[in-house]
Amino acid sequence: MLDTRMTVKLACCLALAIGTAAMAAQQRTTPAPEERGDLDAIRKVSTLIGTQVVNRANTRVAQLRDLVLSPGGDVLYVVLGYGGVGGVGETDTAAPLDALEIRQAGGKWAVLLDMNADDLKKAPAIKSANYRELTDPQWIASVHQFFRPRAESNRPPRAVEWVLLATKIRGSKLKNPQNEDLGKIEDLLLDRMHRVAFLIVGRGGALSIGEHYIPVPWSRLGITTNPEYATVTVSVDATQAQLEKAPLVKGGDYATLLDPGFADEVRHYFATIGRGATTGTGRERR
């Protein structure tokens, strides 16, 4: 009887140990939501857009015109403009993010695409003003067929339900559910995985003199789009008084976000005052 009890006890301890180890492994391989916004550098979308795209021979291939985002802040596609002269007569296409190599060093971006200008002319073209092609699964499949042989990822093609452009967000007004103007969205900051981690909202000042900047976590935002015009409304569930009390970043380089614990302070503050709740499809973004 004693041996039996001892055997059962040992089996229970072994099962508990295995379960604990499995849980620990899952925690290590599945980043917590709050880790998503960790920054090791300030990566401004404003400086990424307009960057020259070159090939391995350092020959210009295109220009990066925009980023197509998911509601969760992932960069799904990069809009490239090619051909033309000085931006006039350009043709646009959209490449999956992993078809390019995007790096930042010393505050400067480098974007590499492993093809030449003549190759890119064969890519599926964007012809609509509002990039509606990106919502067409067949068009997206042709884009992936064209670019993916040059990419390492084998993720399936993903058409977007509604087109969310970084340039439409930057420069728009941040609102609250009462439709009050909370400030102008000055920039979007990417984390090391090229996901939007924070918006930078400017408040006060004239002609940017005396203006102060508030970082707002992407996860606390509500986003509504008008698919016909590709317009965007960005909101946060905060009053003007609450936003005035939010942690501030100093200067246009936003380097305060790199101070130890500061990003956590920002996320904690906005977690206490709510979040936006609408998307272009009318469903809450989780």
Q: What is the C-alpha radius of gyration for the chain, rounded to an integer number of angstroms?
A: 23
Q: Do the domains spanning 45-150 and 167-271 agree at the CATH topology level?
A: yes
What is the three-class DSSP state of 111?
strand
pLDDT at 210: 53
Domain boundaries, the chain: 45-150, 167-271
CA 177/CA 222 separation, integer angstroms: 9
pLDDT at 154: 58
Domain 45-150 CATH class label = mainly beta
Pair 264, 257: CB distance under 8 Å: no
Pair 75, 97: CB distance under 8 Å: yes
CA 10/CA 97 separation, integer angstroms: 51
pLDDT at 162: 84
Pair 257, 263: CB distance under 8 Å: yes
Pair 96, 117: CB distance under 8 Å: no
- Side-chain-side CA neighbours of residue 112 (13 Å): 10
Q: Tell me the CA end-to-end span of the chain in Å, nearest whole number.
A: 54
CA 243/CA 239 separation, integer angstroms: 6
Residue of 192, 195, 191, 189 whose CA lies nearest to 216: 189
- Side-chain-side CA neighbours of residue 146 (13 Å): 19
pLDDT at 144: 92
Q: Which long-range contacts (CB under 8 A, 24 or more apart) does 25-30 make?
A: none
Pair 200, 187: CB distance under 8 Å: yes
pLDDT at 229: 65
Residue indicated by tokens 């102060």? 212
Pick the CATH number of 167-271 from 1.10.240.10, 3.40.190.10, 3.30.460.90, 2.30.30.240: 2.30.30.240
pLDDT tens, residue by residue, 67-122: 999 989 999 999 999 987 665 678 999 999 999 999 998 889 999 999 999 999 99
Q: Which helix (H) or strand (E) holds 112?
A: strand 108-113
- The tens-digit pLDDT sequence of the chain (286 residues) is 444 444 444 444 444 443 433 333 333 322 334 445 568 999 999 999 999 999 999 999 999 999 999 989 999 999 999 987 665 678 999 999 999 999 998 889 999 999 999 999 999 999 998 899 999 999 999 999 999 755 555 566 777 888 899 999 998 999 999 999 999 999 999 999 999 999 999 976 554 555 689 999 999 999 988 766 667 899 999 999 999 999 999 888 999 999 999 999 999 999 988 654 434 433 333 2
